[in-house]
Structure formats: C-alpha cells, structure tokens
Chain A
Amino acid sequence: MTQLALVIDLNVCVGCHACVTSCKEWNTSGSAGPLCDERPYDENPTGTFFNRVQTYEIGTFPNSETLHFPKSCLHCEDPPCVPVCPTGASYKRKEDGIVLVDYDKCIGCKYCSWACPYGAREFDEKQKVMKKCTLCVDRIYDMSMPEADRKPSCVKACPTNARLFGDIHDPESAVSKAIREDGGYALMPEWGTHPSNHYLPRRKTKVKIHEDELERADNPLKLDQQLPKPDKDQSTMDDVSAW
C-alpha cells in the first residue's frame, strides 16, 4: 500500500520560506483555495498557510545551533484527526495515504485541530472550514502536467532540495532510502500516530589535521630560503693566517 510523504532534510534547510509561499500560491488558487488572509495590510496580519518554517536556537552561546524547521501536516498513518471528526470530513485516502479534509462536509468544529498533536491544521477564518496540506493532491495526479511537475509545489520550489517526496512504503524509493541511510526520524513517535513525514538530522563534516601534515618535504619555503652570504670584502681568517 502506498503512503506518500515528505522527507525534510534539516541538514540543508536554510529557512528561506520558499516552501511557505510556493505552497500558498499554488493552493490559494487550487482545489483547497482560496487560502484567506485577514488584515492583509493592517496590524497583525494572519492567514492560512499549509507550510510554516520555525527557527530555533539550541544551546547557549557560543555552543549554540540555529535550526530551521519546516512544518506541515505529517500525513500520519494513524491520524488522530480522522476518528474525531463528527462529519467524516477528515479522512485518509486509501490509495496513497494522504490525509485530507472534505470541505463540503467540514462544519468547522475544530475537533481535528485539537486532536492533532502537531498543530498542523489551519482553520480558514473566512470560509470557516478546516484546511491543511494536501501534498498538492491536485498536482501530483494531474496528467496534463509534465511528469517533472507532478510534485507538491513546495518540493519543486525548494532551492536546497531539502524536501524529498515519495512513497515511504516502497523500500526502493528515494524517501525510504533517505530515512534508512541518513537517520530519518518521525516527530513525537510516543503519540503512536506514525507520522509519514520524516525529518533527516544535521550531519556534520569534520576534518582531522595530523601534525605531520603541516610539514612537507616539498615545502615551498625551502626554495626561497637564502642562507646569508657575507660580503666578500668582510674580514676572514685568510687575512691573518696562512696555515
């Protein structure tokens, strides 16, 4: 059974927010749209975004790390947002595991957002329905697009290619491989939600310099070394002794 998901590589995410707005621009005019914005030019503007990037500082200066952390619906294998929905609007697709909201059934009761431990749901204050990441379900099966474009908008946009997309149930897929080989992990596994989206941790490249590498037989300094040569007019032993 297919389970589509994102694998987000924190090792390369620079926090540029490309995923945030490329998602917004695709989805506001797509199947889930419009994604409304309240007070767009006034104080405290706020709107519906399926992707958000949070930036954290970890540790204390100077031993601190800065981490950019993109967040969206994790398309859990056991999504707690589905059973709590009184109208069946919140559902998980059998064919690909994408968790969706049926906007025509949603009554905006917000049970699902209370049930989601990840805070991934976005209530549209204008339309009064719950929305969330659809993994761009209206792109990935759109056969009118070239195959290369049949990906979530955020994946296509991401300048660092930090967002991998594929079937995590297919052991040969790039996402499964990344999870397996690069230490992919799920968020808060203790909740038993089995998130499909995974994150790849920071991986550091270090170098070790051996002291003897600092010296080399072909050190260029040798070529330019000139041992001091005294002036020929200076006094030597020749001046006083014939031995």
Chain B
Amino acid sequence: MSSAPLHDPLAPPVTGATTEVRYTTCYMCACRCGIRVHLRNGEIRYIDGNPDHPLNGGVICAKGSSGIMKQYSPARLTKPLRRKQDSERGAGEFEEISWEETFSILAERLGKVRATDPKKFALFTGRDQMQALTGMFARQFGTPNYAAHGGFCSVNMAAGMIYTIGGSFWEFGGPDLERSRLFIMIGTAEDHHSNPLKVSLSKFKREGGRFISINPVRTGYSAIADEWVPIRPGTDGALFLAIIHEIIKLGLYDREFLVRYTNSGELVNLDAAHDEFGMFVRTEVPEEEGCYDPQNKLWWDRNTNKPVITHSEGADPFLRGEFKLPDGTPVKPAFQLLQDRVEEYTPEWAEGITGISADTIRRLAHEMGITARDQKIELPIAWTDSWGKEHETVTGNPVSFHAMRGLAAHSNGFHTIRALSILMTMLGTIDRPGGFRHKTPFPRPIPPCARTPNDPRAVQPNTPLDGMPLGWPSDPDDLFVNADGSPVRIDKAFSWEYPLSAHGLMHNVITNAWRGDPYKIDTLLLFMANMAWNSSMNTTEVRKMLTDKEESGEYKIPFIVVCDAFHSETTAFADLVLPDTTYLERHDVMSMLDRPISEFDGPVDAVRIPVMPPTGECKPFQEVLIELGTRLKLPAFVTQDGQRKYRDYPDFIVNWETAPGSGIGFLSGWRGKGGEKSMRGEPNPNQWEMYAKNNCVHHEVLPRSYQYMRNWNKGYLEWSQRNGITRYAEPILIHLYSEVLQKFRLAAQGKGLTRQPPKNLAKRVETYFDPLPFYYEPLETQTSDKRKYPLSALTQRPMAMYHSWDSQNAWLRQIHSHNYLYVNAQTARNIDINDGDWIWCESQWGKVRCMVRYSEAVEPGTVWTWNAIGKAAGAWNLTPQANESQQGFLLNHLISEELPPQPDGSRYSNSDPVTGQAAWYDVRVRIYKTAEGEPEQTSPQFEPMKKYPGMKDAPNWLAYFGGGRKKGGAK
C-alpha cells in the first residue's frame, strides 16, 4: 500500500454545505455565556464561546459544549398534553391537545380563580432566569403565591450579604481576582458564576496569588488550592467568628474603613428599659423616612470627647468604649458590641466545633489581616464620597472571598454569612480593588426598597396584587401577615416564621398546599422545577402528596400544570403539560430587572435570539404567559378597552415600560427611538436587531471613578439614581450591627413601635433576630441523635452537569452516569465497609441504598455525593435499566422539608429561621452494609415512567454528524 494517506484530514467533510454562524446566549447552566452556534445545512455543527463576550471571552464549559445533545434529546416534550381522564395522576398517561385547547382550559380555570380568590393560584418557577416576567405575571394576576427557586437555592447568601453590605456574590458581585493576592473559597461554590470564576482563578494562580479552600471536601476548584482546610459542615460561622475575634484582638482591622463606611462607630442605646433599646441613637427623625439610612446617628468623638453627628467634619469616633449621653442614656459604639460578642469566640472554642486547629484558625486570621494591611493597592482614581469629600485614590486591600450554597444551605447560614460579610468588611475589602466588588444594579439600600404588601387586603378578586410578591422587609410592619400574625402566603414567606424570606420557600409549597396549612389552593403552575424529584426534600412523601385525594375523590392539590422542555419526573404528576422550547429556540432577556450579567466595571444585559425553529409544538413559556395574561385581561397585557397590547414576547420586551413614559424596560441597551440611549430611553422598535448586531449583549463601561466604593460613591449613586436603578442616592453604610434584626427582636420582646409576633413565635424571633452574628448548631442537627447518626451528608453539583436535566445528554451522562456515596476511607474501614460496597445510608427521616467509594479528600465526619444524577426509572426518556436509576441515587430521600414537630404539633420548615433558606446540608446520617442477598440496586425504586405522545424513541446508537452526510473518511 502506498504510504500516502488516502483520507485527507484537511478536506471539508461535507462538500457544498451551507454554513452560518449565529450568536446567542448559553443556557446549559445559569452563567449565561455568549455563544456562537455554527450551523451546517440547518443543523448544529458546533457551539463555541463568543470571544467578544464580556462574560466568558470565548471559553465554554463541558455543558455548553454539549448543547447539541440537549437540542436533539429524545427527552424533549413536543406537544401540549392533558392527563387522560380515566388515568391517575402520576401514571404518566397523557393525550395530545392543541394549544388553543390548552389556553382555553387555563384561561377558564384561572379566570374563575382570579374572580374569586386569586391566592388559590400558585406560580412557582425553577432555574428560569425570567423572574421579572413571571413575578410580574403573578402580581398582575393578583396572587401573592409566587416565587422562584431561590428559597431552596441560596437565599441565605443573598439575604445575609445584602442585609449587611448591600450586595452579594454571583450576579450581584464577586471576588476581584485580577487584583487580589489572597483568595479564600468556603464551601461548595463551583456551580455559580462558574466560567468567569474559572477564568479568573486561573489567572490569579498564575500571577502568584494564594488560594485557600475551606471545605469538608476537596474536589473541583479546591483541587488547585494552595491549601485545603477541611471543616465540619455547618460550622463555618464558628470559624468566621473566631477569625473576627483574632483580628480584633490583634488590631488587624481596617479602622479607617470601618469608621467612615460602616456603622461601627455609631452609638447604640443600651438602656434596657427603653423602647429603643439596641437601636442607634438618633439626633432627630427626618420628616421623610425613605428606604435608606438617614444620616442622623451619633459618634462619640475622640477629639472632643463628646457625641457628634456621624461624619462631622474633623470628628473621629471611638470604636470601643462605653459612654453616657447627656441625658444619662448608656451607649456603646456598634464595634464595641461586636467585640463583646466575639469575646468568647476564641480560636480554641472554634477548634472544638469546626475541627480546625486553633493554630490554623489564628494563622488564617493573620494571613488575611496582614495581606489586607500590608499589600495595599492604591489606584490613581479620583472620586467623591457621599459626604462630599474628595479622594485622590482608591485603596484596595487585596483579600477576597467566594462562597455560595456551602454556607447558605444550612439553617444557621444567615448568621454565618453575616459573619463572613463582617469579616470582609473588617478587612476593608468591600467594593475595593482586590476585594469584593459590586455589579450593577447593586449595591442597593439595606435592605433594598422592594416590599411585599403587608396586609391581606392586598389580595382582591380580579385585581393586581397591591405590592410586590417578593421583597425585602425592613421591620415587622413589612411582614405579609394577617391580623392574627398568620401567614398570607402559601409558603409562609414573609411571616413571623421566616420573616426575611426574600426568595420565598418553594420547598414547602407542595406540603403546605396538600395539608391546607395555611389554606388549600386550586391550581399550582410549576415552571422548570423538578419538584417530584431532585428539587424537593422528602421526595417520596412529596410524590405521594401530589397524588393524594380528599374523601370526595378530588386531588388535594386540585390542578397541577407543569411547563418544561423535557420529560422530568415532575411532568408525570401534571394534569396539563406545556412543552417549553430549548434555549436555542427562543427569545430571552437577561434583564437589569432580574439578574443581569453585569461586570464589575458596569452594567451588562444580554438576550437570546432563536437560532433554531421550535421543535414540534414547543412554545416558549414567555409566550405562554403573554398569551395567558392577554386572555385573562391582566391590565399589563391589555389596552384600556381590553384589547391585546403585545403581539408576542419580543414585542412586549421592546415596548413594556415600568410606568408609561418611564423609559425603563427589560433591556437597557439601544433604547431611545433610534437606539441612541443606554439604560433609559423610549422604546426602540429595532432593539432586538441592535442586540443581534452586537453579540446579543449590552455592556456600559462606567467611568473608572464610578467603578469602586459604590456604597458611598456620590458619582455612582447619582448616576444610578438618574438612570432609575435606585430611588435614593444616599450612602449605603455597611451594617456591622443590624438594626433591622434588632427591630424584630424588640417586637418579640414586646417593645418597639411595630406589630408583634404571636406568642408561640416570640421566642424564636427573639433568638434568631440577633443584631450581631452568633453561632448555633444547625436546627436539624440539634434534633438529631448524633451518636446514632454520626455523619453529616452533603451533595454538590458536578461541573459537567447542571441540576437534573443533563442526564438526558448522551455525552454528559457518559461523564456521570451514576453517583457513589463518598466516604472517608478510614471512617469506612472502621465499620468494615469496603470500597464499592452496597450500603444503606440512613437519616432519622429515611434511607437510601447506594454504593460507597472511598475518599481521602473528605473529612472523616462527612459523606457526600453528586447531586441530581440519580433518576427515577424511565424518567428523561432513559431506559428503565439506565445507571441513573439503578446505581444512581438521590440523597433528598433522607432530608425532610420540615423539622420534627413542636410540642403543639406544628412544624417549622427545615430552613433557616431568618430567611426560610432550605437547610439541605444539615442532615445527619449513619451508614451500614446491606444484608446478604439484598439486590445490588439503589433504593427506593419507583414504577418506571412512560414515554409521552410526541416524544422520540431513544436510539441504541448515536452517530451524530451535524448537517449532512459525510463524504469519505470514516464510514
């Protein structure tokens, strides 16, 4: 044979092909990277990162690169489906119906609900990225029963940080690794803002930055950490408090920063008999109390040894000490109260809780404090602060942090995250180079101004809700409760049980609705949330609730509508299934009104533009809402005479404004009649085309003087105000000491001027609404027999998968087709469990059978697994033999959505008592070998799910070749 190759590897594999490149935004996870979709003869040939996109700069992850397999997945739903009349819910027996019939069923049913009691309609959505629209639909409908998945995701992170520094990680801010010298990542955080974090972490490492990972488990990013500090789950708060203790003890805090930019120096009233006990002393109450901190608090000036108004020219407050006001009121600066608080939180104390040695804790504190103090950055950027003082430079203390669900998903997470925010503040790192930096529309006032109604009369038939369905309570009068203090919402959000539940409590909706506590509902509409599987705690019982009936034979939750693009476990429990499109088939906005993709240097929003036609009869959920809103004649969607206002979703996005003529809409780019305006301007009929021409993204780079110190940056705050981003341009002082929390505590103590909690909740509110962070053992752990259940069990998300929906992806499932329970090898050996053994993992709530994998990268008291790889048999159009259901397992079966009953029989959510954040990571377990003869199969098992009409058959072989038949080469 000739030595010349026969196959020319450089020849185009398809000759004469029509090719095209289209730009849009990825949705294989929530990062929202810019992508280029390369089409060949109309099929997807390749998806890569858009090199001109500010978020990902051309890179793409494993998920983004597998978008093809999602687009052509056999798990796709393609037709509206109705549960067959003679079939039971959950059996998955459906018949196709038309969209017209679907809409008339929905409009008729929901029309009746709206005309009688709109709160009997509940709309809860998953990882949707369209909360501005879904929330608006709920509000227009008039129901308070709306939330997205934040309550079971990371609301503790949002609330803990926003109630402290006015901003938070992920969309709203993050570590400035470009300038940082020391980066500390705590807990599992890989899955949020992942590509940008990977990009910057790599650059950081290469530039010699030091990376410390504090985590019970060493995987993912922690692998490349310069140091791994294993910690026991749920004890991070103890660690932070001990670090704060050490930093105060050694004077390693940034005093100048604390004085000027936080409430550290403000004097707190310590007259226990006073109604204002624990509140800041005020000089006067301004006539107009807005949603901001009025500048009417006092410092005790070191120079004159007298109380003065904060930020008085020439004054410098004592941060420590105890003083008496002229009227005899005893006061202390907030900082002194913090010092008093952390007095007992010594490194030795924390060692016993966290499992980290006191020496290591001290060293961590020293590294943070000394790096922040001695490696200062001075950028030659002149700026003016809110008090009119001109600064020639911006200072940075280059220590940064990142954390997400690892801290958030504990019932003590809110205070843990408050402690972290305070630590970041003490190091002087907030919105400064090398530290934490905000992203527009943050920072916002503490708390942000959005409020829910505070009165049940806000819910009226045929009327929009009088207030936002979700918001940020600033005191007990903002709670959404009835006169007797009971919750108005189905999930009990914004009630005395979970007062600051800014993202709702989706994880309790099904249980509450099933039990009729606080009331029964009529229709539950779920969008893109797998509540019959991995998005629910206590999955087995929740599935039963979905099919449970009244004595009358009616389902306890009478009507369930599920909108999803795929054959998820939850679709089987629907009475009506609405087939959604994929991200490649629809218009979408990553809006400033929702969670945009802003950068540190300025606001960014983005769009998706369809690159493929919808499959089958799939319809984007946005179009469903617009159509339904129009048919129900919700005021935002119809003209005054009741006619259709918006042709479709793209038309709605272009023309809707927050108020007539406000110039503020969903998209901030190319506003104004000719697209000449940014942020604010008249609707532009060609806005979509202009986004399309510009990489589908709008990025306004702010002047450098507006890029830092934004809590107190006059220029930035006024820019923000001019552009309608915020109503107030007042400085946003960091809440080292939280008056908001103290107001709730006062109410619980029967003091203060606000309304007060019901008696049975007073103690709970008083305990957890502490104005300073404190450590307590997670609530579930407190109720667990720790000798019987000696291990903590955790989950985390693998980087190659996002939630549950990637098991249908033929490529990604080859990376993770099933999960193991990872156990410290010595822990396992001690109880005679071998690597690969089948075991039972059991909590006080239930047990699962699964396989063990030894690990040297997990601390001895923790077991963990990858989340959401385990599937119900047959779900996602996998065969019933697929590994996901036979070897894969779901830890959710071990986790309860509620804590054990109170003495009076009532049950609290298994959540943080401040925010209602689902406490996924609090569960305690034991593990033991299965008995001889038990099947080598995960337990529990469920009846295999059926395929629905309109779904493709899953092939036995896949030989994907996008866009035509290949000429030559491998056959």
- Which residues of chain A have a CB within 8 Å of any CB of chain B? 11-18, 20-22, 24-26, 28-34, 36-47, 49, 55, 57-62, 64-68, 87-88, 91, 100, 102-105, 124, 126-127, 129, 131, 134, 137-138, 141-142, 148-149, 153, 156-162, 202, 204-207, 209, 213-214, 216, 219-226
Contact = CB atoms under 8 A, between A and B. Distances in A.
B219 A66 contact: yes
Nearest to A60: B856
Contacts of A156: 48-49, 58-59
B616 interface: no
B306 interface: no
Interface stretch (B100-108, B364-372, B623-631, B635-643): B364-372
Interface in B363-413: 363, 366-367, 370-371, 373-374
Contacts of A26: 46
B272 interface: no
B954 A14 contact: no
A156 to B, nearest CB: 6
A60 B859 CA distance: 11
B198 A16 contact: yes
A28 B222 CA distance: 32
Nearest to A42: B879
Nearest to B51: A148
A211 to B, nearest CB: 10
A157 B48 CA distance: 7
Contacts of A37: 810-811, 814, 957-960
A36 B966 CA distance: 14
B255 A220 contact: yes
Interface stretch (B1-9, B571-579, B778-786): B1-9
Contacts of A22: 48, 60, 62, 65
A214 B250 contact: yes
A209 B182 CA distance: 14
A12 B224 contact: yes
Contacts of A44: 817, 883
B145 interface: no
23 contacts: A12-B202, A16-B61, A16-B194, A16-B799, A20-B62, A28-B961, A32-B969, A41-B954, A42-B878, A47-B814, A61-B230, A66-B219, A103-B970, A104-B969, A127-B959, A137-B9, A137-B10, A159-B194, A205-B205, A207-B367, A209-B367, A225-B320, A226-B318
A8 to B, nearest CB: 13
Interface in B349-363: 363
Contact of B255 (A29, A65, A223): A223
A91 B8 CA distance: 13
B199 interface: yes
A12 B221 CA distance: 9
B45 to A, nearest CB: 5
Name the residue among A40, A49, A162, A222 with the largest chain B CB count within 10 angstroms: A40
A17 B1 contact: no
Given A157-B60, A202-B224, A15 B799 contact: yes
Contacts, number: 303
Contacts of A202: 224
Main secondary structure of the interface of A (DSSP, over half): loop
Contacts of B366: 209, 213-214
Contact of B882 (A18, A43, A153): A43
Contacts of B302: 223
B65 A38 contact: no
B9 A134 contact: yes
B68 interface: yes
B201 to A, nearest CB: 7
Name the residue among A25, A134, A158 with the largest chain B CB count within 10 angstroms: A25
B251 A36 contact: no
B62 A57 contact: no
B877 interface: yes
A205 B320 CA distance: 37
Contacts of B374: 213
Contacts of A46: 814
A169 B612 CA distance: 44
B320 A226 contact: yes
B6 A102 contact: yes
A21 B48 contact: no
Given A65-B223, A205-B205, A221-B251, 6 more contacts: A13-B224, A61-B857, A68-B223, A153-B46, A156-B48, A157-B60
Top 3 nearest A-B pairs by Cβ distance? A220-B255, A160-B202, A41-B954
A92 to B, nearest CB: 11
Interface string B87-131: 000000000000000000000000000000000000000000000
A205 B182 CA distance: 10
B815 A17 contact: yes
A32 B194 CA distance: 31
A225 B60 CA distance: 54
A148 B817 CA distance: 35
Interface in B876-919: 877-879, 881-883, 886
B338 interface: no
A14 B225 CA distance: 10
Nearest to B807: A41
Contacts of B58: 148, 156
B66 A21 contact: yes
Contacts of B40: 29
Interface stretch (B208-216, B438-446, B554-562, B580-588): B208-216
B48 A153 contact: yes
